[in-house]
């Protein structure tokens, strides 16, 4: 029994006994064809083994890349979790008065001041201002100024009367 070995990572024995158990009625041409087919099979097996070796090396590279990317993903997840934890800790440690609430409170205060003085806050941010709008605002401001001047005059008169009643005036 004759065996042939090929160089692979897993060497396998291929039995070649069947070639030597050829019946005697074979012609030399038949034997030559059998020998040629056997040689072609051997060369095809060697070619396939080399292809397998190349593919195995590519598979190993891909597996290594997968492991590396998993490790990188885990590092990124850990960093994200650290940042989230730091944000939570900072929000707990920060002043209970939130910055947004402070800005909203200041904005409301400004709107209240404007509405008390008779100026309406512009609610639509996309409205286009024209000279007519500006002229209307200027007219409103002049009316407010006139009212304030009248109130100031009345307050001055009241002050004079109060001072006279108290005897503070000559």
- The fraction of the chain above a pLDDT of 90, given in percent, is 11
Q: 160 Cβ partners below 8 Å, 6+ apart?
A: 169
Residue 140 burial by Cβ neighbours in a 10 Å radius (0-12, 13-18, 19+):
middle
- Shared-domain flag, residues 76 and 115: no
- Shared-domain flag, residues 137 and 78: no
Domain that holds residue 20: 3-91
Residues 82-108: what's their mean pLDDT?
A: 64
- Shared-domain flag, residues 112 and 150: yes
H or E element, residue 5: strand 3-5
Average pLDDT, the chain: 73
Residue 101 lies in a domain: no
Tell me which residue of 9, 6, 5, 4 sits closest to 54, measured CA to CA.
Answer: 9
pLDDT at 126 over 60: no
Q: Please say whether the beta carbons of 110 and 122 come within 8 A.
A: no
- Shared-domain flag, residues 86 and 113: no
Residue 142 lies in a domain: yes
Tell me which residue of 112, 111, 133 sits closest to 123, measured CA to CA.
Answer: 111
Q: Please say whether the beta carbons of 97 and 115 come within 8 A.
A: no
pLDDT band for 27, please (50, 70, 90 cuts). Answer: confident
Instruction: Report the number of distinct structural domains present in the chain.
Output: 2
- Shared-domain flag, residues 65 and 140: no
Report the range of poorest mean pLDDT among 18-22, 104-108, 129-133.
18-22
Residue 8 lies in a domain: yes
pLDDT at 122 over 60: no
pLDDT at 3 over 50: no
Q: Name the residue with higher pLDDT: 125 or 52.
A: 52
Tell me which residue of 45, 59, 55 sits closest to 7, measured CA to CA.
Answer: 45
Residue 69 lies in a domain: yes
- Shared-domain flag, residues 86 and 20: yes
H or E element, residue 99: helix 99-116
pLDDT band for 65, please (50, 70, 90 cuts). Answer: confident
- Shared-domain flag, residues 12 and 86: yes
């Amino acid at each position: 029994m004759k065996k042939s070995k090929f160089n692979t990572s897993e060497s396998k024995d291929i039995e070649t006994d069947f070639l030597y158990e050829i019946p005697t009625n074979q012609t030399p041409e038949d034997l030559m064809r059998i020998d040629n087919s056997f040689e072609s099979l051997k060369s095809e097996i060697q070619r396939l083994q080399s292809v397998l070796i190349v593919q195995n090396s590519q598979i190993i590279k891909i597996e290594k890349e997968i492991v590396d990317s998993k490790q990188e993903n885990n590092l990124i997840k850990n960093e994200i979790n650290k940042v989230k934890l730091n944000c939570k800790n900072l929000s707990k440690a920060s002043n209970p008065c939130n910055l947004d609430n402070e800005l909203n409170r200041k904005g409301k205060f400004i709107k209240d001041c404007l509405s008390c003085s008779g100026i309406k806050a512009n609610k639509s941010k996309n409205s286009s201002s024209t000279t007519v709008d500006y002229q209307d605002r200027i007219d409103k401001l002049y009316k407010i100024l006139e009212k304030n001047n009248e109130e100031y005059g009345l307050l001055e008169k009241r002050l004079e009367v109060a001072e006279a009643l108290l005897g503070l005036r000559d």
